[in-house]
Chain A
Amino acid sequence: MPTKQGALTDSDRRNMRVVMDRLIPPVDDLPGAGTMGLLDEIERIASEHDRYRKSLVRFLDALTMDMSVEAEGGFLALSGEQQDEAIREIEESLSKEFANVLEVVYISYYSRPEVHARIGWRTGPLQPLGFTLPPFDESILDTVRKREPFWRQAPD
């Protein structure tokens, strides 16, 4: 169980890595989010931002305190489907906290260059390169320009 300050224990980390693999599973030649080694990054973000830290703590608390999970020998002992089920239960009961946990996992995963390479996103900052678009072409207005003004007159 997480300590009061919110630092994760080894057991929390093991659980969280598996949770992350369930949230974002492996695809093509990429491992799942947990196996990818994102937990340090998630802990870094959580340590800087209360919202994520508190949510992570509550989520992991809920995971270890779930009696049905404990009865099966803990989260790690469950089958993949059962793990999904346990996660889904927390998603329902702690929806706000779960949304924050999912958000921080998504942010970490989708900030990785190897993920960017797979999905075709130019990695790195957006500036100074930006993107190129053709300039505005007025001919697109041909149809709408035929419309008479239709704004409503108002008395003074």
Chain B
Amino acid sequence: MPVVTSHEAVDVVVVGSGASGAAATWRLAKSGFKVVCLEQGPWVDHSKHPATKANWEELTRTSWAYHPNIRQGLADYSVNDDASAIKVLMFNAVGGSTIHWTAHVPRFHPSDFRVRTLDGVADDWPITYWDLEPFYDENDVMMGCSGISGDPANPDRSPRQMPPLPLGPDGDRMAKAFDRLGWHWWPSDSHVNSQPYRGRLACNNCGPVGWGCSRMAKASTDVTYLPEAVEFGAEVRAESTVYSVVTGGDGRVTGVNYFDAEGHAQWQPANAVILACNGIGTPRMMLHSASESHPAGLANSSGLVGKNLMFHVYAGASGVFPKNEPAYKGPIANIIMSQQFYETDPARGFVRGYTFQMGRSTGPASTAVGGVPWGAGHHQDFIERFGNMSGLGVIGEDLPLETNRVTLDPDRRDRFGIPAPLVEYRLDENSKRLLAHGVRQARTALLEAGATRVIETAQSVNAGWHLMGTARMGEDPGRSVVDGNCQAHDADNLFVIDGSAFVTGGGVNPTPTIQAVALRAADYICRERSDLKR
């Protein structure tokens, strides 16, 4: 690409300002590294989120939709997921997908890092839960965690910054049902403020937390990490789309080519490049950055870049309950979770496990679109459901398969000519059995809670919000892309710090683990890689 402007060299370029990129930018800037974070999306105006508009339910399905191909914002690149059993969801802006996320933040379990040793499947991580623990804690301080320690399903953790969000009558009802069944449950850890925290307001229970938060009660990295990072001297260059990572003849990275907001080509030299474009965007960038020294794609001598894509397999059941206090008050999925079926039990017929994440009712249009039939029975069905539904989502661990992968679409390109990611994904037998088990147990729990009707979803298709595994870490350069510090085996000044680096996905929402991994990698750079500082 012809370069128009060349910028002054920096220590580190971070590509992507979402959960991981923002955390690393903050940590490096705090330690005096000269950091530029390049983000293809714009800064988001939080006063304009859907919840501030009367037509918020229309917006959540159009210009704020989860799928980039539906949203079609200027910063969104098209994703070809026609051949994927799960559709890819993400947000592209300063703050990345944390603008959209629901901020339900369980941690991985110690066993998640040792699946080969414990269950004979997939691979162990080169790091442990205990390696990440201090970084989970550091991240909770930065993002602000509402919750309560003492959960018997997890190792004990430090006191949460704020008490749990209110459970609401629907949460209480579900919790008591779990108690009666003798099943585990615990209030969700959430990066949503239950009290004012670090200049951000407390949540006022409006509901659709997954479409931005005008009170900034939900932690998105544009309002947590990045303002502090900027104070420490980092530069966040929004509306800057990285085209490729450039390497020299020795195979080390020298900087990135990008397009600015006006579409002008730019060159940003750097001592190191950190990729934080998420589990789809990062392999896309690596495959598109093939060069003479990296002919199969950047840092792809193992051939594993783009492979082993994991999403978590999702299913669930919703219970329709007799009329009560309306169950649409409160953030939609930050209530309680159950890890009764998290760890492997061979008697269940599958390995690994899942978390139940409770969800609640929502607005009228979303309720109707959620499955109310048209025609003569419409109004009766709607009235039964509206405000009376509680759901249990099954978040299951999907094991890595090399055939589940991201490659470059030979035909489709974005406005800068970067190929679209082509995503292929299918569920294996283990995942199918796991989901079937989860749906059966969800039904049991909902009926125990008093549901008069249970509506099952055997497998959720629009559920690709967790993007993992496509540049995984490991000790063996032949079987992994980066090492335990997220440093590429093939280039010692290239790092991959987003969910791409995951070896396995656990059975929980991954973002606290993504951020802990990113903080740990940044910490490693600060401590061990002073050679990358001018």
Report A's interface with B, CB cutoff 8 A: 22-25, 27, 45, 48-51, 84, 87, 102-103, 106-107, 109-111, 115-116, 119-121, 123-136, 138, 140-141, 143-145, 147-156
Known: A23-B378, A49-B62, A150-B184. A127 touches B51 (CB 8 A): yes
User: In whole angstroms, how far apart are the Cα atoms of A135 and B166 in the complex?
Assistant: 5
User: In whole angstroms, how far apart are the Cα atoms of A51 and B70 in the complex?
Assistant: 7
B57 touches A136 (CB 8 A): no
Residue in B109, B330, B365, B374 whose CB lies within 8 Å of A110? B365
Q: Write out the residue numbers on chain A whose beta carbons fall within 8 Å of the beta carbon of B111.
A: 151-154
Report B's interface with A, CB cutoff 8 A: 49, 51-58, 61-62, 70, 72, 109-111, 113-114, 117-118, 128-130, 148, 150, 152-156, 163-168, 172, 175-176, 178-179, 184-187, 194, 203-208, 214-215, 326, 328-330, 342-344, 363-365, 367-369, 372, 374-376, 378-379, 382-383, 386-387
Q: Write out the residue numbers on chain B whose beta carbons fall within 8 Å of the beta carbon of A50.
A: 72
Known: A23-B374, A25-B375. A152 touches B109 (CB 8 A): yes
Known: A107-B61, A126-B56. A133 touches B365 (CB 8 A): no
Known: A23-B378, A126-B208. A45 touches B128 (CB 8 A): no
A145 touches B214 (CB 8 A): no
- B440 CB, min distance to chain A CBs, angstroms: 21
A124 touches B54 (CB 8 A): yes
A–B Cβ pairs within 8 angstroms, 29 of them: A51-B70, A102-B374, A107-B365, A110-B57, A110-B368, A111-B54, A111-B55, A115-B364, A119-B383, A119-B386, A120-B387, A123-B54, A125-B52, A125-B56, A127-B51, A127-B52, A127-B214, A128-B52, A130-B204, A131-B204, A136-B165, A141-B148, A141-B187, A144-B185, A145-B152, A147-B152, A149-B156, A151-B342, A153-B111
A150 touches B153 (CB 8 A): yes
Known: A23-B375, A51-B70, A106-B365. A132 touches B184 (CB 8 A): no
A144 touches B56 (CB 8 A): no
Residue in A84, A123, A143 whose CB lies within 8 Å of B179? A143
User: In whole angstroms, how far apart are the Cα atoms of A102 and B378 in the complex?
Assistant: 12
User: In whole angstroms, how far apart are the Cα atoms of A156 and B111 in the complex?
Assistant: 10
Known: A24-B378, A130-B206, A147-B152. A125 touches B110 (CB 8 A): no
Q: Write out the residue numbers on chain A whose beta carbons fall within 8 Å of the beta carbon of B204.
A: 127-132
Q: Write out the residue numbers on chain B whose beta carbons fall within 8 Å of the beta carbon of A102.
A: 369, 374
Q: Write out the residue numbers on chain B whose beta carbons fall within 8 Å of the beta carbon of A155.
A: 114, 117
Q: Write out the residue numbers on chain A whose beta carbons fall within 8 Å of the beta carbon of B53.
A: 125
User: In whole angstroms, how far apart are the Cα atoms of A152 and B172 in the complex?
Assistant: 27
Known: A45-B58, A107-B365, A110-B364. A151 touches B343 (CB 8 A): yes
Known: A107-B61, A110-B57, A154-B129. A121 touches B364 (CB 8 A): yes
